[in-house]
Amino acid sequence: MTPYAIAIHGGAGTILRSAMTPEKETAYRKALEDSILAGESILKKGGHSLDAVEAAIRTMEDNPLFNAGKGAVFTHDGKHEMDASLMNGKNLTAGAVAGVSNIKNPVSLARAVMDKSEHVFLACQGAMEFAKKNHIEFAPDEYFYVQMRYEQWQEALKSDTVILDHTSRTPNPSPSGEGNKFGTVGAVALDVNGNLAAGTSTGGMTNKKHGRIGDTPVIGAGTYANNATCAVSCTGHGEFFIRSVVAYDVSCLMEYKGLSLKEACQKVVMDKLVKIGGEGGLIALDAKGNIELSYNSEGMYRASKVQDNNLYIGIYKD
C-alpha cells in the first residue's frame, strides 16, 4: 500500500513576523494542526483522499481565522459570497460552487454537486436551491459576522477599493494586524490506495462587486487532481491564477514535459506567475507522496504530514 500524505494551506500574502502577535501566531498554528489532523484521521484508517480533503477544509471553514466559511469576508453590499471546489484524481470527477451565501460549509456543497448531480459547476441561486434539496447545512447571517472582517470591509468602503490582501496593491494595512494576505483555504491528499484529491474554499475579496468570482471554484485554475500526476490547491490573486490555469499547468508540465513535482511547481509559481505579476502560492502532492508548498509571496499558512513523519507547520518565508 502507498504511504498516505496530506498538505493544507490557509492563505498566502504579506505575512510577516513583525506584524504577528504571539497569540495570533499560536492560534494559527493550532488551527492548521487541527485541520491537518482532521484529514489525517481519515487517511490513517484507510479512508479515501477525497474524504480527508473535505474534512480538513471543513475544519478551516469553521474557524473565523480563515477567509472561508465562518470567516468569509464581506462583499461591497455587506454580504458573504463563497466559492469552493473538489476534485477526485482517480476518475477526474469534480464539483464546484460559486457565489453562495449562508452555506456553513461550501466545500461540502461542492462535494454534493460532484456526487449527486450530473454537473460540475453550480452558481448563485441555482446552487442554493440545489443545497436545500440535498439538505446541506445553512447558517444565518450572524454566524458569518466576524469583527475583524467587518473592520476590513469598512476600511475598503472608505477608500472604495477591493482589498486584495496583496502586498503592493493594497492601499491600507489589514486592521487585524496580521499583515495582508489571501485567505483562501485548501487541501490535497494521497490515500493508502494511491488516490489523489484536492479541494479549495474561499470567501473571495473584501468589498468585491458585480458577483466577482476568482480561481477557487474553477477546476484547473484553483484546484486540480489526477492520479497520473498530482493534486493541487491554489491561493493568491485569482485573476492571474485563472489566466495562467495554474493548477492544471503544474499537472501538464509533469505529464507532457516529464518534470518532477518540484520542478513543475517552481516553473509555474516562481517563473510563469511572476512574469505576469501574479502573487500567491499553492500546495501540491504527487502519487509518490512528494509534497511541495510553493509561494512567491512573503509567506503562506501551510502544513503537511506524510504518514509516520512529523507534522510540519509553516507561516513565514523560510
- What gap in Å lies between CA 76 and CA 199, rounded to an integer? 26
The residue with cell 470567516 is 71
Q: Is 184 a catalytic residue?
A: yes
- What gap in Å lies between CA 76 and CA 59, rounded to an integer? 27
Neighbouring C-beta atoms of residue 168, cutoff 10 Å: 9
Annotated active-site residue in 59, 184, 200, 206: 184
- What gap in Å lies between CA 133 and CA 145, rounded to an integer? 26
- What gap in Å lies between CA 130 and CA 137, rounded to an integer? 12
Cβ-proximal residues to 132 (8 Å cutoff; 6+ apart), any chain: 138
Cβ-proximal residues to 306 (8 Å cutoff; 6+ apart), any chain: 3, 4, 5, 289, 291
The catalytic residues are 184
